[in-house]
Structure 1
Amino acid sequence: MHYQSSSLNKGEIMTNPKADFGRLYSAYSPAEYVKHVVRDLRYELPFLAMSRLKYYSRALLHQDVIRVTIVGSCHGLDAVVLKYDLTMPEILTRWINDATVGLPFPASESEYEVTLIDMEAEPLRFASEINLSNHSLVANLRQSYSAELKQHFAEMTDIVSAVGVTSYLGLEGMESIIQAAFVNGNAKVLYISVLKYLDTNAWVDICLKHGLAVCHIGDLRQRSYKDEDEKQRIHGILKRKDLLSEADETGLVTSLFLAYKEDIMLNSHDAKKSRTLIVVEQENTFVGSTVDGSSHSLEDLPHPWHIALSEEHSQSRAIYQKLTELHIREQIQPGDVMTTIKSSSVNNVGHLANMFAGEYEVSEQSLPNGQSRQTLTRIVPVINANILDEAPASSEELEAELREFGHVLIRSGKPIDEGLVLELLIGNGKAMDYRYGNTVRNKIKGSSSLLVTPWPKELSVLPHNELSYHTEFPKNACFICKEPAPYGGETSIYDCAKAFEYLSPDFQRKASSHNVIFRKRYVQALDHGRYPSWQQVVGEDTTHEDMIDHVSSMGYDYTVLQLEEKGSVTTVVETQLTRPMVYEYQGKQCLHSSVVGIAPYWYEEVWPGKEPPLTATWDNGEPFSFEELRHMEKALLSARIRYNNWQKHDVMFLDNLKIAHGRLPFIGERVTGLMAAQPARFTNSNGHWTVELIK
């Protein structure tokens, strides 16, 4: 539908401030306007400004269709960029040519519903007839508004764009728009450009006066000077204000501002704070804006932040990794917030909150379109770990700590004798090696401990119980921090009994009544890169028959496979072992976290498209669904025990059956050692799984 206001009398056309350019703005065809203004004066502003508006509108307004009212729109040049992404060369070619100037744009569905408002009727008719506008209004915005115009601003506008026209509107004209659209209406975002030689503070103050948050999102070249007289006049003004710079030599410079209602984007508590607005621009680049300016260097921007993500960016793996890096560098600080749409497919922002459980407060808000806005607020985490400043005096004292807490962190600030650590860890049992692990573990130079799993540092290692997929596994495990990473890298720990409690009742019943089958693959080569070698299990120069004899004697089932790899055939021994999904330990039901630790979606990031060395299925052979694995993962991550990352010389003792462990992403290098002791095994009595120590 197209409608026009009658608030402009025919005789008023010549009072149009745009008349500086003669009849260019009033003609039906844009050909002369494009030649003399866009081409000759290099009028770049619509192309640059509308491209930026897209990033901000998608990040702030989570709507299927965004209603944009463009004032001073003339032939709809801004709408061309907003709806159809045309560049300056493309529009010059199209609109200067008589054969193509009147060709309509496709009337396809768009995420933007555009209303054009201008003093001149003919340019609006042109824009309407070639599908640039959904609605149009002829109106002089420096005069009193008609009832129709007031209603449009108040009820049918999400964004008001006044780019390249604020000097025509004047401060009073702009304040009238704010009153109609924001004070008396439901508009959410105001997008304006203010020429550098004007008093930009006055425009900002109008927005602030009416409760809008304001961000200066950059300075752009608007157009070339019309002539030398205009150049000298503008330079004179800028010199008097001490603002003249090299950028002003070739043309008019304008400042872009985004003003918006914070209470629409954030909850009422968060909206009371002045925030730096951060969005994602081209090539997954973050840019932050305050009332004083914008920067791609986030380190320079004041806190608190509001990181506003579009649904597309919230699903981006690259953005997820950048947010993770900002978190572990502690650039996202307590009080900072992130907002996005909660996606039904990939919810990377939600996963970030899960991974760093206890460090974000998560809330959701239902939107009119049926979607849900998710808000993450970083908080100061509660330290709930059992931390001692000296080692227990005996293995009995250590066992008492482990029985009560499942873990103990020794934080003395100085090295602890590894002989004492091993003695405490072993108690009445014995030390264990790592020959049944997924990777080869080498000893740390000058230490009796083994290097921890060398998975990529940008990934988190999911929660798992050490070696619990094997017939025997350590009851006790110990991690020694030789050198912490500069950023991140915490060996994260999780309470397996609490994780079981966090499962839904339906899944608790399913997990308690079914087992899991672990399948592990071995090859002969020591340097296969993906599958471990059976030589580290049964010795050098052994065959697959030797491996079969060994695993059969331990109670494994097995399958021999012949796999084609790189033009040759590799013999693979796949072992199968039934283990519990849920086991009883020290009077509590515990979730077997190693099922989550080998989730296919995690291995896919390490070896895309390839079968990992260790997999798991339900006891009937059915694979775990994505939803089931994510449900268990969230339960485990929610049971995180926090101790505020590693410090050098920290020693962490774990009861491996009570406490699962993982590793958070990190930057730089870290050296963490592992020791294991006191062999244990699962026992099954009529479907009820428990744990016993092996004497």
Structure 2
Amino acid sequence: MNATPIWTPLVITPQSAGVEASAAGLLKVIGDTATVDDQLVKEKALIFRGFGVTQEELDPVMDELLPNRLAYVHGNSPRTKVGKNVYTSTEYPQEFTISMHNEMSYAHAWPARLLFFCQKAAETGGATPVTDSALWLDSLDPEVREAFKGGVCYQQNLHDGLGLGKSWQDTFETTDRAEVEAFLGQTGAQWDWKPDGSLRVRQIRPATAVHPVTGTEVWFNQSDQWHPAGLGDDTAAALAQIMPADELPQSVTFADGTPIPDEYVIQIRDRGLDAAVDCDWRTGDLMLIDNMLVSHGRRPFTGSRRVLVAMSD
């Protein structure tokens, strides 16, 4: 009996594409945007390897693959902006795993595509795991899928420059409260400013989504990353001693305010990681992913690692 093939990203090299191993060669490949669009929907993720692209050559490549490069406004991950809407992929401590997620699936609008660029591969580890989001949904117990049908409620407590987590200024890339309110007013979120200058934001979002091209239903929420249980027992216990759940930088419940059981969160986190395929970076690699069809994370690493990311709608 034949085993079901394991999904993996499509690797494109200068040899397989019939072009020279250079940034110019890669531009020839991706200049056929219709073919790249079709490949991305079919394959879910594309790795461009062996073209020798440097950071200085990155902008023209991004202009082709990301037609409308987006700012990371309302993003919850620690990053540094290093170019025209180009960011470090994360600055989360290197000894920890980042669990699987679709970028900004908690938000009212999310990027359709992500492009990762490996400027420097880690000494050991540091892979970017990727998971087929439809397979992730299918892997969950029926009880869990049923419980999440009503959606989830995300809450953020964003400080005013000093505190745990991100400030509202960093989150929205502005120091103007009116700009923040104008942005939130378009999202259906509820928010209020606290006397200490911090901002609380609540928004109800679905737990799954349907891809606009394929019609595939996918797991599409970050409940396990926003729930203390998803961080591990020790971290969750430490957070519980520091502050109540309602005051955490970010937290999540079911849409009706009912707590999400710890065991559901742990199942979601672990099965997403179990289904993942690792992209083991080589310096100069690029990976383009469909942000709905594929979730991503990060493995722990040693040494210096620098992976950049940009996104588009």
Bucket of the pairwise TM-score, normalised by the shorter protein: 0.7 to 0.9
For residues 240-280 of structure 1, give each alpha carbon's deviation from its aligned partner in whole angstroms, at most 9, with x where no partner exists: xxxxxxxxxxxxxxxxxxxxxxxxxxxxxxxxxxxxxxxxx
Q: Offset of 1:665 from its aligned partner?
A: 0.8
Residue 578, structure 1, aligned to residue 204, structure 2: yes
| Letter aligned with residue 555 of structure 1 | G
Q: Offset of 1:504 from its aligned partner?
A: 1.5
Q: Which residue number corresponds to residue 87 of structure 1?
A: none
Q: Which residue number corresponds to residue 190 of structure 1?
A: none
Residue 589, structure 1, aligned to residue 224, structure 2: no
| Letter aligned with residue 670 of structure 1 | R
For residues 165-196 of structure 1, give each alpha carbon's deviation from its aligned partner in whole angstroms, at most 9, with x where no partner exists: xxxxxxxxxxxxxxxxxxxxxxxxxxxxxxxx
- Structure 2's unaligned 5+ residue stretches are 1-5, 15-25
- Secondary structure of the 2:53 match is coil
Greater RCO, 1 or 2 (C-alpha within 8 Å, sep 6+):
2
Q: Which residue number corresponds to residue 17 of structure 2?
A: none
1:487-566 paired onto structure 2 within 5 Å: 487-511=124-148, 513-525=149-161, 528-534=163-169, 537=172, 539-540=174-175, 542-543=176-177, 547-548=180-181, 550-562=183-195
State how far apart, in whole Å, the 1-side matches of 2:87 and 2:286 are.
Answer: 14
Q: Offset of 1:523 from its aligned partner?
A: 2.7
Q: Offset of 1:576 from its aligned partner?
A: 1.3
For residues 606-641 of structure 1, give each alpha carbon's deviation from its aligned partner in whole angstroms, at most 9, with x where no partner exists: 974355422211011112111101111222123212
Checking the alignment, whether the CA contact within 8 Å between 1:385 and 1:642 is kept in structure 2 is: no
Checking the alignment, whether the CA contact within 8 Å between 1:500 and 1:590 is kept in structure 2 is: yes
Question: Root-mean-square deviation (CA), in Å?
Answer: 2.6
| Letter aligned with residue 65 of structure 2 | L
Q: Relative to structure 1, is the Cα distance of residues 415 and 549 closer, same or farther in structure 2, using a 3 angstrom cutoff?
A: closer
Q: Offset of 1:663 from its aligned partner?
A: 0.5
TM superposition outliers: structure 1 runs of 4+ over 4 Å: none
Q: Which residue number corresponds to residue 424 of structure 1?
A: 64
Checking the alignment, whether the CA contact within 8 Å between 1:443 and 1:450 is kept in structure 2 is: yes
Checking the alignment, whether the CA contact within 8 Å between 1:418 and 1:448 is kept in structure 2 is: no
1:284-323 paired onto structure 2 within 5 Å: none
For residues 152-177 of structure 1, give each alpha carbon's deviation from its aligned partner in whole angstroms, at most 9, with x where no partner exists: xxxxxxxxxxxxxxxxxxxxxxxxxx
For residues 574-628 of structure 1, give each alpha carbon's deviation from its aligned partner in whole angstroms, at most 9, with x where no partner exists: 1111111122222222112422233313456397435542221101111211110
Q: Relative to structure 1, is the Cα distance of residues 383 and 553 closer, same or farther in structure 2, using a 3 angstrom cutoff?
A: closer
For residues 94-151 of structure 1, give each alpha carbon's deviation from its aligned partner in whole angstroms, at most 9, with x where no partner exists: xxxxxxxxxxxxxxxxxxxxxxxxxxxxxxxxxxxxxxxxxxxxxxxxxxxxxxxxxx
- Structure 1's unaligned 5+ residue stretches are 1-381, 563-569, 679-695
Residue 646, structure 1, aligned to residue 270, structure 2: no
Q: Which residue number corresponds to residue 450 of structure 1?
A: 87
Q: Relative to structure 1, is the Cα distance of residues 677 and 503 closer, same or farther in structure 2, using a 3 angstrom cutoff?
A: same
- Secondary structure of the 1:434 match is coil
State how far apart, in whole Å, the 2-side matches of 1:408 and 1:449 are.
Answer: 19
For residues 311-341 of structure 1, give each alpha carbon's deviation from its aligned partner in whole angstroms, at most 9, with x where no partner exists: xxxxxxxxxxxxxxxxxxxxxxxxxxxxxxx
State how far apart, in whole Å, the 2-side matches of 1:536 and 1:510 are.
Answer: 30
Checking the alignment, whether the CA contact within 8 Å between 2:118 and 2:283 is kept in structure 1 is: yes
Percent identity, please.
19
Q: Offset of 1:482 from its aligned partner?
A: 0.4
Q: Which residue number corresponds to residue 320 of structure 1?
A: none
2:249 corresponds to which of 613, 629, 637: 613
Q: Which residue number corresponds to residue 19 of structure 2?
A: none
1:32-47 paired onto structure 2 within 5 Å: none
Checking the alignment, whether the CA contact within 8 Å between 1:479 and 1:652 is kept in structure 2 is: yes
Q: Which residue number corresponds to residue 79 of structure 2?
A: 441
Q: Which residue number corresponds to residue 292 of structure 2?
A: 657
- Secondary structure of the 1:399 match is helix
How many equivalent pairs are there?
282
Q: Relative to structure 1, is the Cα distance of residues 515 and 461 closer, same or farther in structure 2, using a 3 angstrom cutoff?
A: same
| Letter aligned with residue 637 of structure 1 | L
- Secondary structure of the 1:674 match is strand
Q: Offset of 1:674 from its aligned partner?
A: 0.5
Residue 672, structure 1, aligned to residue 298, structure 2: no
State how far apart, in whole Å, the 2-side matches of 1:517 and 1:529 are.
Answer: 21
| Greater radius of gyration (CA) | 1
1:404 corresponds to which of 20, 39, 42: 42
State how far apart, in whole Å, the 2-side matches of 1:535 and 1:634 are.
Answer: 30
Q: Offset of 1:669 from its aligned partner?
A: 1.6
| Letter aligned with residue 255 of structure 2 | D
